[in-house]
Amino acid sequence: MNGYAAIEGAAVLVVEDEPLVRHYVIDILGQSGFEVIEAETGEEALSRVAQGGVCAVVSDVSMPGGMDGFELARRVRETYPQTGVVLVSGVMEPSQAHLPAGVLFIAKPVRAATLLRLVREVADPRTELPTPPAEVP
């Protein structure tokens, strides 16, 4: 627990404009015991994070509207530094220099085990996370 009080009802916010991909990521997280909320744009995502209770954000890099995933990640990390961010893209793989501090990256197609490991790595340390599923040999 790292000495922090647990955040009641902490959720992972999935930000993806493509419905099939969004539902796939939501299913992975939900089946692993995470509470999941969703958004389609960066602006909607910032509004959801501002409401509180978000321990991590999983966001596509390319989104409609005026804010891409890099800008969303930067703003989340500046305003809510305890909230972790994982960026996802099937088009580009940014260098570490392009990622805001503390932000991790995963390439599409997303593998469930990798996504879960990264979300656990970046999640707000005050959050009680669901127990990880047992490894299958």
Write down the domain spans for the chain.
11-122
Helices assigned H by DSSP within 35-128? 42-50, 69-79, 112-122
pLDDT at 79 over 90: yes
Residue type, 28: I
Looking at domain 11-122, its CATH class is alpha beta
pLDDT at residue 77 is higher than 60: yes
Sign of CA dihedral 44, 47, 53, 59: positive
For the cut 60, the answer to whether the pLDDT of residue 8 exceeds it is no
Average of pLDDT values for 33-59? 94
Quick: pLDDT tens for 127-137: 888 877 665 44
pTM above 0.85, yes or no: yes
Q: What is the mean pLDDT of residues 27-48?
A: 94
